[in-house]
Amino acid sequence: MPRTITLFAVSSLVLLVLGLTLTRYGTNVAMSLTLPGSQVTRGISLQTPCYGLASLFGFFACLYAIGYIPFSSTLAPWHFWLSSAGVVLYAVGFVALGRGGMAAARAGAESSQGVLWLAFLGLAGGPLSFLLGQALFVFDLVRAVPRMVHS
């Protein structure tokens, strides 16, 4: 379990540094969302998800490091790797969509099928992987609390 704690802590620091780097050297690009039938567009800067994920990964490192809750030493690494894979897949999906899909659409060209499939895989598979990792964490926490109370 100490390796999982270290992985979560290091990932938290990497995400924090990435967010700070995007704040300092990033472009003024933001993610935006416009709902169908609405005239209002909501947007967040690119560093905001980095800060949120850094906080979340730091929280998990703290929970695993406390040692008072008897988490499974088998499920903890799975929680980390599924969560990390979800974050990376989602980022790859956004990059593929931005670089390949939207750039081609702006130039009036047709996007390649590979780029669109990569974007789909990232944008659909990333959140699924991340949510599966969180479901494992909740399952492990529900299993650990009764053991903690009775010991």
Q: How many CB atoms lie within 10 A of CB 69?
A: 13
Question: pLDDT, tens digit, for every residue of 48-88?
Answer: 888 999 999 999 999 999 888 899 999 999 999 999 999 99
Q: Is 33 helix (H, G, I), strand (E, B) or coil?
A: strand
pTM: 0.82
Strands (E), the chain: 30-34, 41-45
Interatomic CA distance for residues 8 and 15, integer angstroms: 10
pLDDT in tens, the chain (151 residues): 789 999 999 999 999 999 899 888 876 667 776 777 777 777 788 788 889 999 999 999 999 998 888 999 999 999 999 999 999 999 898 888 777 766 666 666 666 778 888 888 999 999 999 999 999 999 999 999 888 887 7
Interatomic CA distance for residues 17 and 23, integer angstroms: 10
Where does residue 81 rank: exposed (0-12), middle (13-18), buried (19+ CB within 10 A)? Answer: middle
Q: What ranges do the domains of the chain cover?
A: 1-67, 71-151
Please check whether residue 136 is in contact with residue 59, taking contact to mean a CB–CB distance below 8 angstroms: no
